[in-house]
Homo-oligomer: A and B are copies of this chain.
Amino acid sequence: MPELRKDPIIGRWVIIATERSKRPMEFEKQEEQADFKHCPFCPGNESKTPPEILAYRANGSKPNEPGWWVRVVPNKYPALQIEGALNRTGEGMYDKMNGLGAHEVIIETPDHAKSLAQLENNHIEELLWVYRDRIVDLKKDSRFEYILIFKNHGFSAGATLLHSHSQLIATPIIPKRVNEEVAGSKKYYDYKERCVYCDIVKQEISSKVRLVSENDAHIAIAPFASRFPFETWIMPKKHSCCFEDIQKKEVTSLAAILKDILLRMDKVLVNPAYNFILHNSPCNMNNLPYYHWHIEIIPKLTKVAGFEWGTGFHINPTLPEDATKYLREAEI
């Protein structure tokens, strides 16, 4: 069973994923890249994954057989495990609990060779509906405090399989960064009586210098204090703390702006590896007037890592206003 361990100084929980435990010499090995015959995410190979949790599939097609266009399965090598209880306990001065949670893989397309950016708008909409369905379903499990949806695209961003997929991790704790966002935005709200994200939306639309893209319901910006070159956030214009409350028209708008941004990055940065993370409000916090869901996209361009991890202090070599210009002027 994986373990959750708490840093006794700053209170951060860490997953110690013993089930995927690595010996020293295993870190060098590059995961072998399966071709479509052996790829566990390709149609016809459904038996190579654990049984599906959800699939959007053609009428009449059977579960765990071809006919799907988006498919959700449990991660074969889960960082957290779905069965059991938390069993919070101590080890001397330290605190730990069982690594209870869900770890799912969302296979975004049956097409082995297509990237998320290359999918049709209506296909990306379907993917967003799948995100929503899984959040709604997992929120019913009272053991979970947070549901995290993210994507690693490209080996250098941490992907181990090429076939386009996202991941979902449900956790019995709220990740540190989310706690900071919730606390920080509440502090701003207590002082200003306004949502800080709504204020950002307004300022960026009016000043335009960091506005990469805009459509009906969403904007994409280079954040004022970007930690990474070409870091981009997608935010709904209308206040909403919970992604799963999204309306049908808004899904259409979100799919369009997500595709737009990924295509712009592919053009300007030549198909970069990237991570995206959906920042949503914690499970038991609904209708927050101060929190605002958003998507953070971080292309993997710079190597420096340990320094940033060690200090929480980032040096960004690209002016966000310059990144905005490059992305905005890309011909896609």
Give me the interface of A with B, judged by CB distance under 8 Å: 5-18, 20-25, 27-28, 79, 91-94, 148, 150, 152, 155-158, 171, 175-178, 180-181, 184-185, 188, 196-197, 199-200, 203, 207, 223-230, 268-270, 274-277, 279, 296, 298, 300-320, 322, 326
Contact = CB atoms under 8 A, between A and B. Distances in A.
A307 B200 contact: no
30 contacts: A8-B225, A9-B181, A9-B185, A10-B181, A13-B225, A13-B313, A15-B315, A15-B316, A21-B319, A22-B229, A23-B326, A27-B269, A92-B207, A93-B203, A148-B311, A150-B306, A152-B304, A157-B306, A158-B306, A175-B312, A175-B313, A177-B312, A274-B306, A275-B305, A275-B307, A276-B306, A277-B306, A277-B311, A298-B306, A300-B305
Contacts of A175: 311-313
Contacts of A315: 14-15, 17, 79
B225 A5 contact: yes
Given A92-B203, A175-B311, A310-B177, A226 B14 contact: yes
A317 B21 contact: yes
Given A22-B229, A158-B303, A305-B300, A317 B203 contact: no
User: Which of A171, A197, A317, A318: most chain B Cβ within 10 A?
Assistant: A317
A14 B310 contact: no
Nearest to A268: B24
A150 B9 contact: no
A277 B310 contact: yes
A77 to B, nearest CB: 10
Contacts of A28: 270
Nearest to A148: B311
Contacts of A24: 230, 268-269, 326
A276 B300 CA distance: 22
Contacts of A326: 23-24
B306 A200 contact: no
A298 B306 CA distance: 7
A268 B25 CA distance: 8
Contacts of A152: 304, 306-307
Contacts of A318: 21-22
Contact of A200 (B93, B207, B268, B322): B93
A316 B16 CA distance: 5
Nearest to A79: B315
Contact of A150 (B6, B94, B188, B310): B310
B155 A223 contact: no
Nearest to A180: B10
A303 B155 contact: yes
A25 B313 CA distance: 25
